């Protein structure tokens, strides 16, 4: 047995359980695994997420069980499978929509899928149950906001905004792909034909996901040029930052003017706060807390660095004001939508940091 397999705790568990249950020796287990087909069978059992599921729902294993017990076992096993799938999706950053119990009847060849047939009430209940679950899951995805990290005072950088929208798009694409599954489409057809009260809810799920996809695609389209500008700015020497700030701020204004979904104060405030956080961080790294303290002994050198920091932060403030006062130029004939939000919503942290630098600069003159 390979070293990897020897360290596999799942294999140890299965071996010990089998040998103890059947009162067998270690040699029997080694003989069992020596057969290539058996070795492959055990590997498949571990690697496939639903090998266990057919085992627990096989009606041949329940012939002597009371009907109520077998039905409960099948129901609970399906519920466990769905919960494991949803959890596995969350761990991977994706939303997994659980399928209804007995979803196999939604295969196109199944007689129950002939819409002229009466649909079993238990099956309809299973459909309606998952629609409630899907509604909650998708609502959780769509209500997430990139501003949450700011609310928690985590001082995020622009990368957080770009990562948020890229992850959101990938997750919504994953959800949309699941909704396009033939089984889900057949389920929708059945609910619509049966005039179920849950059909409008499912229809809204399709609509919300499509709109969410459109929004994420649009936002990423217009954030991509801004991301390139910020990447360039991050990689330049500190003394060159002021020359890049104007290009960054103009790109923010163009995003505001052209993106159908990013022209909202709450969106633009977030990215401007994150840009401010980036410049604060770069200024802190440029100055260095220890360097500032040593500046009392190396006054001229430290004073020069502090003044560079002040110039950089003031440049951001001034460029923001310039864009704000000349917003017409970015809309090019369209109706202008101005930045009417108070500037302190963007620059509270930057202004406080700038004020501290100005106080140190005044003290060290």
14, 42 in Cβ contact below 8 A? Answer: yes
What pLDDT, on the 0 to 100 scale, is given for residue 1? 43
What pLDDT, on the 0 to 100 scale, is given for residue 211? 97
pLDDT tens digits, one per residue of 91-145? 677 888 888 866 666 765 444 444 434 456 778 888 888 999 999 999 999 999 8
**Nearest CA to 160 among 171, 169, 149, 152?**
149
Q: Tell me the Cα Rg of the chain.
A: 30
What pLDDT, on the 0 to 100 scale, is given for residue 112? 47
What pLDDT, on the 0 to 100 scale, is given for residue 41? 78
Every domain of the chain and the residues it spans: 93-221, 236-364
pTM of the full predicted structure?
0.75
What pLDDT, on the 0 to 100 scale, is given for residue 74? 58
Contacts within 8 Å (CB) and 24+ apart, 32-35:
33/1
What pLDDT, on the 0 to 100 scale, is given for residue 87? 63
What pLDDT, on the 0 to 100 scale, is given for residue 134? 93
pLDDT tens digits, one per residue of 302-325? 888 899 999 999 999 999 999 999
Intervals of the chain under pLDDT 70 = 1-8, 10, 44-50, 52-91, 101-105, 107-120, 289-299, 364-365
* Nearest-angstrom CA–CA distance, 362 and 365: 6
SS3 95: coil
What pLDDT, on the 0 to 100 scale, is given for residue 3? 43
Residue 112 has, within 13 A of its CA and on its CB side, a CA count of: 15
What pLDDT, on the 0 to 100 scale, is given for residue 118? 46
What pLDDT, on the 0 to 100 scale, is given for residue 277? 96
Residues 6+ away with beta carbon under 8 Å from 225 = 251, 254, 255
């Amino acid at each position: 047995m390979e070293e990897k397999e020897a360290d596999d705790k799942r294999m140890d568990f299965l071996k010990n359980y089998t040998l103890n249950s059947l009162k067998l020796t270690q040699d029997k287990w080694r003989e069992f695994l020596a057969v290539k087909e058996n070795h492959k069978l055990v590997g498949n059992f571990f690697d496939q997420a639903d090998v266990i599921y057919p085992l627990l729902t096989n009606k041949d294993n329940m012939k002597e069980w009371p009907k109520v017990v077998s039905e409960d076992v099948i129901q609970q096993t399906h519920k466990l499978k769905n919960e494991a799938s949803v959890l596995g999706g969350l761990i991977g950053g994706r939303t997994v929509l659980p399928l209804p119990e007995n979803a196999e009847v939604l295969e196109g060849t199944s007689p129950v899928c002939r819409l002229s047939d009466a649909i079993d009430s238990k099956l309809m209940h299973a459909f309606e149950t998952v629609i409630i679950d899907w509604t909650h899951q998708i609502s959780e995805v769509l209500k997430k906001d990139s501003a949450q990290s700011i609310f928690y005072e985590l001082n995020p950088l622009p990368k957080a905004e770009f990562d948020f929208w890229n992850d959101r798009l990938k997750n919504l694409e994953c959800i949309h792909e699941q909704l396009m599954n033939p089984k889900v489409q057949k389920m929708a057809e059945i609910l619509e034909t049966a005039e179920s009260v849950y059909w409008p809810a499912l229809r809204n799920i399709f609509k919300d996901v499509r709109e969410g996809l459109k929004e994420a695609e649009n936002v990423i389209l217009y954030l991509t040029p801004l991301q390139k500008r910020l990447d360039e700015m991050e990689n330049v020497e500190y003394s060159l930052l002021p020359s890049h700030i104007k290009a960054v701020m103009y790109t923010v204004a163009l995003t505001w003017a052209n993106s159908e979904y990013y022209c909202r104060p709450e969106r633009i405030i977030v990215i401007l706060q994150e840009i401010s956080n980036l410049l604060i961080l770069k200024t802190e790294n440029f100055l260095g807390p220890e360097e500032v303290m040593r500046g009392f002994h190396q006054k001229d050198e430290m004073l020069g660095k502090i003044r560079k920091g002040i110039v950089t932060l003031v440049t951001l403030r001034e460029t923001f004001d310039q864009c704000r006062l000349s917003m017409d130029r970015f809309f090019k004939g369209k109706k202008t939508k101005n930045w009417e939000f108070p500037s302190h919503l963007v620059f509270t942290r930057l202004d406080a940091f700038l004020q501290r630098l100005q106080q140190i600069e005044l003290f060290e003159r």
